[in-house]
């Protein structure tokens, strides 16, 4: 009877302040959707970056030249102590890779002439600290047209994605705080609506938890509803984006276990926001008891 009573009371509170409750649920929903999306985008960036890197840290694109000139550069690079391997990547190999990367972009492949794709030397460093030095040294070689370091670019990408993640989480947290305040408000309204009843409950000796639990449950339900919605919408939205835009080079296919574990995390967070919100709403009253 107790559990029944407590849940019934919480549900009655929610119904009484339906509009406020909906507002609180929406606030939790929006803030946690941001967070969930940020977690997904962060993971996509991370896995994609890892795949691209594959240990290659420096690429030197070569001018059109004899194979002998190319080989000379490769051998020279290989002789540097900081370099572990220097491999030759011919035009043909480069074209194959391009086709592979853009396997589902037939028009792009049609547009690109194999001859326009340069051959390159790909260097794996023995000593990653020496990265800059090797890049500079390689750039001085006359046969080398341009040195790109995926690590530089990827670091940029990572920085940007970290920044985006951080921003999204910051925004999520800010909205989370407003969600918390909204929940605190609905609970305060519920307490106000029932102040007479609460007064009598305390008069006849209802234990504090018995008085508080319906309000904590109310907040918990609001938090979990918002979080559940966020996970559902985030999940479905992700699947939809995955189906609509197959972006070849980006590793978009995240394992279900990842979506699930982060979804759980978001639910947990929603529950915490809900309970904290009602605790804040109850606080002033708790002190009086």
Smallest separation (angstroms) from other proteins to the CB of 271: 25
Note whether 192 and 232 are within 8 A (CB).
Answer: no
> How many residues of this chain bind other proteins (CB under 8 A)?
18
SS3 call for 119: coil
Tell me if 91 contacts other proteins by CB under 8 A.
no
- Distance CA(187)–CA(142), nearest Å, equals 73
Smallest separation (angstroms) from other proteins to the CB of 16: 12
Phi, psi at 249, each rounded to 5°? -75, -15
Q: Which is nearer to other proteins, 9 or 218 (CB)?
A: 9
Distances (CA, A) of 258 to 40, 224, 253, 269: 9, 20, 11, 16
Tell me if 207 contacts other proteins by CB under 8 A.
yes
- Closest by CA position to 44, among listed 234, 238, 233: 238
Q: Which is nearer to other proteins, 153 or 208 (CB)?
A: 208
Tell me if 68 contacts other proteins by CB under 8 A.
no
Smallest separation (angstroms) from other proteins to the CB of 193: 11
Smallest separation (angstroms) from other proteins to the CB of 12: 12
Q: Which is nearer to other proteins, 17 or 35 (CB)?
A: 17
Smallest separation (angstroms) from other proteins to the CB of 287: 9
Q: Which is nearer to other proteins, 11 or 157 (CB)?
A: 11
- Of the candidate spans 51-59, 65-73, 81-89, 204-212, the one that interacts with other proteins by CB under 8 A turns out to be 204-212
Tell me if 206 contacts other proteins by CB under 8 A.
yes
- Distance CA(168)–CA(183), nearest Å, equals 22
Using CB under 8 A as the binding rule, the residues of this chain from 180 to 199 that contact other proteins are: 196-197, 199
Q: Judged by CB under 8 A, which of 41, 201, 250, 272 binds other proteins? A: 201
Tell me if 51 contacts other proteins by CB under 8 A.
no
Distances (CA, A) of 181 to 91, 158, 250, 281: 61, 34, 39, 8
Distances (CA, A) of 156 to 42, 161, 163, 165: 14, 8, 10, 14
Using CB under 8 A as the binding rule, the residues of this chain from 3 to 22 that contact other proteins are: 5
Q: Which is nearer to other proteins, 179 or 190 (CB)?
A: 190
- Closest by CA position to 89, among listed 80, 78, 97, 99: 97
Which DSSP category does 115 fall into? Answer: G
Query: In terms of DSSP H, where are the helices of the chain?
Result: 2-16, 18-53, 67-79, 91-101, 106-111, 131-140, 150-193, 195-203, 208-244, 256-288
SS3 call for 132: helix
Tell me if 205 contacts other proteins by CB under 8 A.
yes
Q: Which is nearer to other proteins, 5 or 163 (CB)?
A: 5
Using CB under 8 A as the binding rule, the residues of this chain from 208 to 237 that contact other proteins are: 208, 210-211
Residues that bind other proteins (CB under 8 A): 1-2, 5, 196-197, 199-208, 210-211, 289
């Amino acid at each position: 009877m107790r559990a029944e009573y407590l849940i019934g009371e919480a549900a009655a509170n929610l119904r009484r302040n339906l509009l406020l409750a909906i507002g609180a649920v929406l606030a939790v929903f929006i803030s946690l959707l941001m967070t969930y999306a940020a977690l997904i985008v962060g993971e996509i960036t991370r896995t994609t970056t890892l795949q691209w890197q594959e240990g290659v840290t420096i690429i030197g694109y070569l001018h059109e030249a004899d194979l002998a000139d190319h080989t000379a550069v490769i051998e020279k690079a290989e002789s540097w102590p900081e370099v572990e391997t220097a491999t030759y990547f011919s035009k043909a190999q480069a074209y194959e890779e391009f086709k592979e990367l853009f396997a589902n972009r037939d028009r792009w492949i049609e547009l690109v002439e194999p001859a326009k794709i340069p051959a390159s030397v790909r260097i794996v460093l023995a000593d990653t600290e020496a990265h800059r030095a090797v890049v500079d040294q390689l750039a001085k070689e006359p046969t080398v047209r341009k040195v790109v370091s995926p690590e530089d670019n990827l670091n940029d990408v990572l920085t940007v994605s970290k920044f985006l993640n951080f921003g999204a989480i910051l925004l999520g947290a800010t909205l989370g705080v407003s969600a918390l305040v909204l929940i605190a408000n609905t609970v305060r309204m519920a307490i106000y609506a029932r102040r007479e009843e609460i007064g009598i409950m305390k008069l006849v000796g209802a234990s504090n938890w018995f008085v508080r639990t319906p309000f904590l449950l109310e907040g918990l339900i609001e938090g979990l509803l918002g979080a559940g919605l966020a996970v559902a919408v985030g999940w479905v939205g992700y699947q939809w984006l995955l189906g609509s835009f197959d972006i070849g080079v980006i590793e978009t296919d995240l394992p279900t276990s990842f979506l699930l574990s982060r979804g759980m995390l978001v639910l947990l967070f929603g529950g915490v926001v809900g309970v904290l919100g009602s605790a804040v709403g109850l606080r002033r009253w708790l002190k009086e008891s």
